[in-house]
Structure 1
Amino acid sequence: MPVVGTLAEGTPIRMGVIGLGSMGRHHARVIREVEGMDLVAVADPYGDKHGVAKDLAVQPDVQALIAQGIDAAMVAVPTYLHEEVALALAEAGVHTMVEKPIAATAESGARVARAFEEAGLVGAVGYVERCNPALLEMRRRIADGELGEVYQITTSRQGPFPARIADVGVVKDLATHDIDLTSWIARSPYASVAGQVSHRSGREHEDMVVATGRLRNGIIVSHVVNWLSPLKVRETIATGEKGAFIANTLHGDLTFVANGDVRSEWDKVSVFRGVSEGDSIRYAIAQREPLRVEQENFRDALWGRASDVVSMAEGVHTLQVVEAVLESAATGQTSAL
């Protein structure tokens, strides 16, 4: 059902962007390209260092942005400001998408989600990996039964330290993507999680994490995430009774490796009661910019169409899992959700 307060379908959406840094500048570009969206206002107290405002005056804060008469906003400010900015937008009746994570803490995120729900506004979280073509195709094929029962989902997200990050560690910045997409692919929330973190670069926040867990539907999961690898890796693997899907989200590729049915005659191997490697298929997938798909989903939600936006409630659950990982790392105990 359409959300109360959505705009009439086809109505041009007056969009605002607050935060013109590494993510906000790309959102500003994409919004200008999406049919049905008009970028009419931008704001950043530190100015427009990337030159994305063009003919728009750069507003100093969220109240000045609201005063431009916007219908909806994209929030791309640092994480610690998410709650303050989002609550101001909710109070003003502005539909909003907040860059991930929804807020600095789950408690803070819950306040944001509640404010938008009570105001009857569209509230969404920007988890752009859900719009990656390889993951979209993986999720569709799993739902169609091509993997049979899913046993395990593993992710690897590794690479050099991003200069854009100052206020959170690798768990809230990067692992949050993997936690969200895993729950989304499996269509199940987390039941428990355990984590180990490391501080190797002298920064306040953790820069490496290994997390394992179990979803409520029984699927076991693991995540390897760090900022300290010279090799950039973005991989999600779903293993099930018929084989495995391997998504390379860096390139948007999806491969299926089927369980083999050719039996080995080598005695030492033939006694192993498992599977063998069968045929491998690399799917040709239409490549679309994930950030554009994300904004189109937001537009559709604003128009009251069926949409794949990430709800604020989902954003809160992901943050609860993130905090459980950090709690587990601090206590050495598995955290239940």
Structure 2
Amino acid sequence: MAALRAGLIGLGSMGRHHARVLRQLEGVELVAVADAVGDSHGVAGDLAVGRDIDHLIAAGIDMAVVAVPTALHERVGLALAAAGVHVMVEKPIAENSTAGLRLAEAFESAGLVGAVGHIERFNPALQEMRRRIEDGQLGETYQISTQRQGPFPGRIADVGVIKDLASHDIDLTSWVSQSDYVSVAAQTAHRSGRPHEDMVAATGILENGVITSHLVNWLSPMKVRTTTVTGERGALVADTASADLSFYANGTFLTEWESLTPFRGVTEGDIVRYALAKREPLLVEHETFRDAVLGRENRVVTMRQGLRTLQVAEAALESARTGATVRIGQAAPTR
């Protein structure tokens, strides 16, 4: 079978990694790249660098990765949908949910694969966490909390920390728990002089009753990437920067007699750190997109799911603006 012809638009900080992975992806050939400001990272190799999306379409591509600024996602994505090209667009899906809906509908009506690059779903620690939760290791799940903090990335200029960083946590929380957000409440801060928020503390509740909390900022001198899921039998803790997963067991074992007394809390039990195969999440994400294009197993983050994540992010921004808890619209996808 001939290799899928792939294009990449956007050769910046994220685009350069997409270029590297596309070149090593079995069954795919990177045949065209484009960026309005050129190839600042020198990743094009022997490929001519086009200026816009027409350059990719003219190359006769089957699939494309869109890594341009968020404000351009809709225009670029719609052009590719009209040309019959399968697309994976970097997160967030679009600048706002109205644009995201137009993108999702365009790919659905064209019968094309439309995916969103929520890469944390492909982190081995989170994939193993989801499997263990699904297998019942924690019993009933009570809470999911995340921390995603670190220095400001100079590449981000068009969105704040909620749509950029917190969207990772929104998506992974829904995915790990297999339940959508019902409502969200958030507080934000602007401490660095940029037009968008650079800190957020958000809480939420999922359809399955799990409560969530997210601490996200661009103002921490140390990089923190943790997800903790607490349940009746203990807690699973993932460090997504190192792809480590640990289990902290609830050490309280009630005897028949003690079960007649009021619940007194939990105690520390065994702690286990799991040995995991740690494949690069970006490579796994690309393999998943390729397989969906080929009609094999489709495990991509769909545009509908990406839209839902953006709607939760927008609800968090609205909550921060108004000081009220905001309920999420009822266009929930299956995770």
TM-score (norm 1): 0.94
Which position in structure 2 is the counterpart of 1:267? Answer: none
SS in 2 for 1:257: strand
Aligned residues of 2:237 and 2:246 also touching (Cα < 8 A): yes
Q: Is the 8 A contact 1:147 1:244 kept in 2?
A: yes
Task: State the alpha-carbon separation in 2 of the partners of residues 324 and 93 from structure 1.
Answer: 33
Q: Do residues 226 (structure 1) and 210 (structure 2) align?
A: no
Give a deviation string over 1:88-140, Cα, whole Å, max 9, x none.
Answer: 00001000000000000011100000000000100000011111110010001
Question: 2:116 aligns to what?
Answer: 125
Deviations 1:149-195 (A, max 9, x none): 11110000000111111111000110000000000001011000000
Instruction: Give the match for residue 68 of structure 2.
Output: 77
Give matches, 1:1-337, under 5 Å.
Answer: 10-261=1-252, 273-337=264-328
Write the distance in 2 (CA, Å) between the matches of 1:292 and 1:328.
36
Output the amino acid matched with 1:289. Answer: E
Structure 1 stretches of 5 or more lacking a match?
A: 1-9, 264-269
Code of the residue aligned with 1:173 in structure 2: it is D
The CA deviation at 1:48 is 0.4
Deviation at 1:27, TM superposition (A): 0.3
Give the whole-Å Cα distance in 1 for the aligned partners of 2:293 and 2:132: 28
Identical residues among aligned pairs (%): 67
What is the aligned length?
Answer: 322
Shift of 1:261: 2.9
Distance in 2 (alpha carbons) for counterparts of 1:202 and 1:74: 32
Asked if 1 retains the 8 angstrom alpha-carbon contact of 2:32 and 2:55, the reply is no
Paired with 2:185 and 2:8, the residues of 1 have a C-alpha distance of 36
Cα distance in 2 for partners of 1:38, 1:95 equals 14
Contact 1:262 1:276 in 2 (8 A): no
Secondary structure in 1 aligned to 2:125? helix
User: How far apart are the structure 2 equivalents of 1:303 and 1:276?
Assistant: 50
Q: Which amino acid letter does the alignment assign opposite residue 29 of structure 2?
A: D
d(CA) in 1 for partners of 2:59 and 2:100? 26
Report the secondary structure of 2:47's partner residue: coil
Equivalent position amino acid for 1:141 in 2: R
3-state secondary structure, aligned to 1:310? coil
Structure 2 residues without counterparts, runs of 5 or longer: 255-260, 329-335
| SS of residue matched to 2:219 | coil
Task: In structure 1, give the amino acid aligned to 2:158.
Answer: D
Quote how far apart the aligned CAs of 1:11 are: 4.3
Distance in structure 1 (CA, Å) of the matches to 2:177 and 2:164: 21
CA distance in 2, matches of 1:196, 1:148: 31
Cα distance in 2 for residues equivalent to 1:272 and 1:310: 41
Separation in structure 1 between the aligned mates of residue 283 and residue 314 of structure 2, nearest angstrom? 30
8 Å contact from structure 1 (residues 153, 221) kept in 2: yes
SS at match of 1:217: coil
Distance 1:131 1:61 in 2: 29
Q: What CA deviation, in whole Å up to 9, does each residue of 1:201-245 have, x standing for no partner?
A: 111000000000000111100100000001110000000111000
RMSD: 1.2
Q: Which amino acid aligns with 2:317?
A: L
Q: 2-side partners of 1:178 and 1:64: how far apart?
A: 34
Instruction: Name the structure, 1 or 2, with higher relative contact order (CA <8 Å, separation 6+).
Output: 1
Tell me which amino acid in the other structure corresponds to 2:272: I
Deviation at 1:45, TM superposition (A): 1.1
Q: Which amino acid aligns with 2:60?
A: G
> Which residue matches 1:5?
none
Q: Deviation of residue 262 (structure 1)?
A: 6.2
Instruction: State how far apart, in whole Å, the 2-side matches of 1:333 and 1:180 are.
Output: 22
For 1:131 and 1:125, the matched residues in 2 are separated by: 12
Amino acid paired to 2:96: T
